[in-house]
Structure 1
Amino acid sequence: MNSSAALKDDRKLTYLNVEGADKPLISPVPDMVLNRARKYRLQRLRDHLDQSDCAALLLYDPCNIRYAFDCSNMQVWTLHNPMRYALILAGGPAIMFEFKGCLHQSEGLPGIDEIRIAKTWIFMASGDKVGTTIQDWADEITDLIREYGGGNTRIACDTLAGSGVHALEARGLSYIEGTQITEIARSIKSADEIELMRWTIHVCEAGMARIYDHSLPGVTERELWAHLHFENARSGGDWLETKLLTCGPRTNPWYQECSNRVCQAVELISFDTDMIGPYGYCADLSRSWTCGYTKMTGTQRRLYDTALDQIYDNLSLVRPGTSFTEFNEMSWRIPDAHVPYRYSLAVHGVGMADEWPVVPLHVDWGPGAMSGRFESGMVVCVESLMAEEGSESVKLETQVLVTDKGYERLDCFPFE
């Protein structure tokens, strides 16, 4: 057996989950874990809604709706067609306004007190009747706030279009930006949420193993990327947020989407999963390896080791109580040759998608960098992208839980 074949077989024993190699992964997470997570998430939103002194929280972002109620009807489609929404009243019920014909999608979910047909006023659905439908929509929202708000007219909204804001304000309501409420609420995960997230990561790693198993000369970037889609879809996941898998010279500059380019032996294959998986949680992991299971070249190895230095050094700084400013001051410094090819950030939050906070790299730190600190219960991704002039790019990323003692890695897919 040649060395490449031996390495592949060794890696397959490490990477390929026996269960996931030939059939969909079936989650072992008990229903009681999911129901506790649902209760916790809705209460987080209610608590932060109370702290904001708002009468209601209006949600259009499908990820926020999933977080609040765990109903996941047509999430990608409603990202750009806002035809369903949720209203959580601080002094009253939590109401799901579902797309007509889909009310059964939200039935039986414990956090929803009432299901109503959504009043859709976007132009695609209402055309020249938008003016009428938006008035009916605003009347219903306003009536609910007057009924349950106790005189409070402040309404927090996450992604409401301007015409909707104007219609509510014309009825005496005060619009409050609601994204801060949802992002801060979502940032601290319960133990049950972490169990759900671990399963999404498990499914993602089975997909990564499929990519690895097919990383042979002659395969295209898109064919490799399809293996992650396949494992996610057949195991109950949702979608991939990006198409970041490239090989060889297409790894640099980064952020090129996968193409029909054929991967060649010895070239690096680098990718970033950005996978919204089972239970709606995100597995955001990055790895790089060589096509054909070959030994890395000297340049590839040097870049890879440098990327690992950045990952491990910055990981050691992720601990509760450390401010983002303190993290920046102590963070690993990128050598000058790699600065023009750097990634756009050092650390970011993750939950049901990429989330608050975002901590820039030291070279991008400035007055616009956000305030805050790491807290126990946060989940963050620590990133590295390493390249230089004329080289390929090594992309690495790990997902970690901030604990009372520091951090715990949630992914176990090995680095090279």
Structure 2
Amino acid sequence: VVSLRTYFEEPSSEALGDADRPPAVIFENSFLDCDTQRALSADCERPSQLADIHAEPIFSAARRHTYVGFHSHKASWLAQVQGRKAWFLASPSREMPLVREPWEYVEARPEGVELVVAQPGDVLFVPEGWWHATWNLDDFVVGVGWESPDDGSSLEAWRASGAQSGKPKYLTQEMLYLAARAGYPDVLQSLLEWLGPMEDADEDRPYLLGAVAAGAAISGHLKALELLEPFSRRDGCWHPWALHAAALSGQDATVAWLLERGAATAALDSLNESEWAPSHAFQDGHAWTALHAAAWSGHASVVKRLLAAGADASTTIASGAAEAAVTCRVPRWRPSVEGEGATALHLAARRGHHEVVEALLSGAEGLVDLPDAGQAQNTNSNHNNNSNSHKK
């Protein structure tokens, strides 16, 4: 594990020499849509044709001469923020080009492979299925963008599939999750209408869309959470992943909104085997409380709010030989087994979050300065997509 600061503060790749150049590109397309990404892309005008490509945010950072070999995926675009990146592109109608050192493609370019160099300010669109490889040409290369879950036509095709029978051919929780996380309430509402009504009083059923609600909470989409509420509560309580996602990403208004509607501060973020979650969103590890998550990420306002709502700061993460051997399905948005036996205070101190440490030591003092749950609804547009990104 290496931080971005360490990655870029090491001697330049030229000084290290070819044998010791940085071995990897830092790339993430399953992180929290955040202020940092919006700030980095603020000077990049997104063409209107790319407006629908908005499912998974992309962050790419790299040193000189690092590269990624040929591969393909769903439609995506990347805005070049800093440095130059060479793109090698090939049609999906041909077989994948052989993976080689990128400079070999310059010396002897395979037939059908095009070369494009993206400069800062350029936006490059890669259609679904196109083979592409990249080569970073400068010692500080940064790009941000978005990846699509499909080619943009699947929602209409899905709706059309149910036009005759009154019910679509398929409805997956992945579709619901993407709509919730990206903050498309109209799409989400259409999907939920096909799913049908759900009574919150049914205490015997499992949480139906707990992980889907977490997708909305992690990005602060309150309208999506409103739509998901009947599907994400049981016995009056929200699925714990919703509160944990909001706490981890610093969505203070969302945390307030969930607490007002019965989210339990003591609930652990484990996921039952029978409950669905996207494969990139869970891992095996020890369960945390929402207070652990907020303390780990350094969100003092969320920590204060959770304490005021009755969160127990003395709760520890699983410890001891017997307990340490027991793991469960937990969010991948945070470390899996970090801090066995630790309280929220231990986690905050370990990461140097001084304001969080002070909040935990002094209780919930100062909460009056924070926006209350009533304001959360009115400030939804300001909180959408407001969170901190975490590198896996």
- Regarding TM over 0.5, the answer is no
Scaled by the length of structure 2, the TM-score of the pair is 0.29
- Write 1 or 2 for the structure with the bigger share of helix: 1
Scaled by the length of structure 1, the TM-score of the pair is 0.28
- The higher-RCO structure (CA 8 Å, 6+ apart) is 2
